[in-house]
Structure 1
Amino acid sequence: MNVFILISLIFLQINAISCSRGDNSGIFRSCLRNCHITECLDDDTFLDEDKRPFHLVLLNWGCRDECKYTCMWKTIDDFKSRDNPIPQFYGKWPFVRILGLQEPASVLFSLLNIYVNFSCIKQFRKNVRSDSPMYWVWHGFCAVCLNAWFWSTVFHARDFPLTEFLDYSFAFSIMLMNCYCMFLRVMRGTLPRFFNILVTALFAAFYLNHIYYLSGPKFDYGYNMAVNIIVGSITVFGWFAWSLYNRFRLPYVWKAGLFFALFALSTLLEIVDTPPWFYLIDCHALWHFTSAPITYIIYSFIIDDCKYLRKQVQYADIENVSKTD
């Protein structure tokens, strides 16, 4: 399985936001024009604002957005009546809105990932002493994951340019944080301690520069894709190589290898571009779902690894005491 190709295909799928058959069709455009005239004021408010439910007000569904949603279903009905395949709209498949949530399944599964990471860090704190090596590094990893999944929830609940930017930016933060943790673990014991501070500063500077570039006038999907491919490939290769090298000395490293193998397999869902089942669940939502259970594997690995590292420190302290005696 070529991870490089998989990640490339994923981002190519995600970034397809050009005009689609649905929003480019005559019936959709005609419906949209009529809706704007009969339902909307010039400031994007409704002619009859009192009829708008509170949850739509809360999620900032304006009149023009509501027209797009209504006309989308009219267009779908027209396509189905002609036995034509279900079209995309603005580069995305149509979803049934629930309580104002644009992609309810992806919202639910993003929340599931928040729950899993939160419950896993509780288990980590219960099983690993706070004076263990890498203890706070993995807390930072969890914090990054919780933040990224929060913004994934927000983005799938309501797709705005800002929520899209935050989702992409913090999704990359998980990738980069994983690379950072890999580097600290693989290089542990081989470099001076002060070098960790330099590495941390370099990773932080790289991330801030990446976000600064993406915040320009136009979001650079190609650049973001290329950076994710490079960082993701380095991370996967680094963990696999380290796990293979230590497979006999550290019997628990198979968990790290299994996690990244399952992660690579789960990315296959992202290259399947089919309409959502029942207009609720698509392959992207299933990808979010599969990331939740495999998260338990990586946390199981880091619990075992931190316990091992603490024992190594204890043995080293005992040897130093013996030498001084």
Structure 2
Amino acid sequence: MYNIFKCLIIVILINYSICSAGDHSPYYQRCLEKCSLLNCTDDGVGFKNYDQPTVLYLTQWSCGDECRYNCMWKTVDAFHERKWRTPQFHGKWPFVRILGMQEPASVVFSILNGYVHLKMVRKFRAEVRPDSPLTWLWHTFFVVSIHAWFWSAVFHFRDFLLTEILDYASAFSMVLMNCYVMIVRLLRDKIPRFALVTITTFFIAFLVSHVGYLSLGQIDYGYNMELNIFVGTFTAICWFGWCTYNRIRQRYVWKCAIYVALTGIVMMLEIIDRPPFFYIFDYHSLWHLSTAPLIILIYSFAIDDCRYLRKKEIESPENGKSKVP
């Protein structure tokens, strides 16, 4: 499975490297040079005799950014007049800017995911007693996830090196958190407390190390993708094995299995590399949209699981009954 995903990622990277015909075209380069000369100050930030709209000023669109945006659409029109396909610019498809947002659909759908997390954690708190086993784990899952979707929205709103690093780092933290949740749940009552502290420390150290590596100059996209796929695949295999083993005594585990399966399936949207519909909805944004309902599924599993663990805790060996498997 990992090798299959690896091949797909290689295809993505190849497309990323060869599909920036727009910004490499002489038409775009001439347009950019002329626009900068006529409209921008020497540093490319300020404007000559132009009052920039407030929303664009607040979202830090410099004169150089404005020239790149306007020349991008002129180049797209020139390509279409020659019956050529829509080109990419700097590895990205052209998007209509809305209220300063570079990729408006991805921004909205990232916010949607954060909203669903917020709604479901409230449902979790309403239906699960605070002293139930592993409530701390799912609250930590919520904090990591809401943080990741926040930076996803920020990055798609405005693409800077800092926002890109924070988006990639927080996205990996969510993948790593899924793995951590899986390990803690599967090994519950099978490892001593100090071992849990060791595991937690390892995960935090690994995340810090990865973020530090991403922050060193240019982001290593290939390494980041492969690491995410490896951790995600390992997590999925372990969850499937556990769900299969407990499918009789814990019938609610189907929710976890379906969540893991659908998460892998909808990720295939990342493979599709086509121009965005109406220059707003690309397949990456649709991937963000498709993950929102899956959040409901995993929290529903968490609610059932914490209830199950609490019931088994009450029926502990002290009461003459078997402990949780």
TM (norm. structure 2) is: 0.94
1:5 equivalent in alignment to 2:4: yes
For the residues of structure 2 that align with 1:40 and 1:3, how far apart are their CA atoms? 48
1:48 to partner: Cα distance: 2.3
Are 1:29 and 2:29 an aligned pair? Answer: yes
- Mapping of residues 1-325 of structure 1, within 5 Å: 2=1, 5-6=4-5, 9-10=8-9, 13=12, 16=16, 20-43=20-43, 44-50=45-51, 52-316=52-316, 318-319=318-319
Task: Give CA-to-partner distance per residue, 1:179-199, whole Å, 9 cap, x none.
Answer: 000000011121122221111
> Which 10-residue stretch deviates more, 38-47 or 9-18?
9-18
Question: Aligned residues, how many?
Answer: 319
Identical-pair percentage: 50
Structure 2 residue runs of 5 or longer lacking an equivalent are none
> Counterparts of 2:2 and 2:299 in 1: how far apart (Å)?
22
| Structure 2 residue identity aligned to 1:119 | K
Alpha-carbon distance in structure 2 between the residues aligned to 1:11 and 1:98? 32
Counterpart Cα distance in 2 of 1:178 and 1:194: 21
Question: How many Å apart are 1:9 and its aligned residue?
Answer: 2.7
Q: Residue 11 and residue 45 in structure 1: after superposition, are their counterparts in 2 closer, same or farther (change >3 A)?
A: farther
Please state how far the C-alpha of 1:26 moved relative to its aligned partner. 1.2
Cα displacement string for residues 204-263 of structure 1 (whole angstroms, at most 9, x for unaligned residues): 111111111221123222221222122111111111110011111110000001001111
- In the alignment, the residues of structure 2 paired with residue 4 and residue 122 of structure 1 have an alpha-carbon distance, to the nearest angstrom, of 39
Residue by residue over 1:245-303, the C-alpha shift from the partner in whole angstroms, topping out at 9 and shown as x without a partner, is 11111100000010011111101111110000010101000000000011100000010
Q: Distance in 1 between matches of 2:18 and 2:81?
A: 25
Displacement of 1:6: 3.4
Residue 249 to residue 7, structure 1, CA distance change in 2 (3 Å): farther
Task: Tell me which amino acid in the other structure corresponds to 1:189.
Answer: D
| Inter-CA distance 118–101: structure 2 relative to 1 (3 Å threshold) | same
Secondary structure (helix, strand or coil) at the match of 1:23 reads helix
Q: CA deviation at 1:304?
A: 0.2
C-alpha change, 1:262 and 1:4, in structure 2 (3 Å) is: farther
Partner AA of 1:232 in structure 2: G
- Contact kept in structure 2, 1:107 and 1:152, CA below 8 Å: yes
Q: 1:140–1:320: structure 2 CA closer, same or farther, 3 Å change rule?
A: same
Q: Which amino acid aligns with 2:106?
A: S
Q: How has the CA–CA distance of structure 1 residues 32 and 157 changed in structure 2, closer, same or farther, with 3 Å as cutoff?
A: same
SS at match of 1:163: helix
5+ residue gaps, structure 1: none
Measured against aligned partners, the alpha-carbon deviations of 1:16-62 in whole angstroms (never above 9, x if no partner) come to: 26771101111101100000000100122111242x10110011000
Letter in 2 for 1:45: G
Query: Aligned equivalents of 2:11 and 2:171: distance in 1?
Result: 16
Distance 1:11 1:206 in 2: 24
**Letter matched to residue 114 of structure 1:** G
> Taking structure 1 as reference, are residues 110 and 279 closer, same or farther at Cα in structure 2, changes over 3 Å only?
same
- Describe the SS at the equivalent of 1:208: helix
Aligned-pair CA distance for 1:3: 5.8
In the superposition, relative to structure 1, how do residues 240 and 112 fare at CA in structure 2: closer, same or farther (>3 Å)? Answer: same
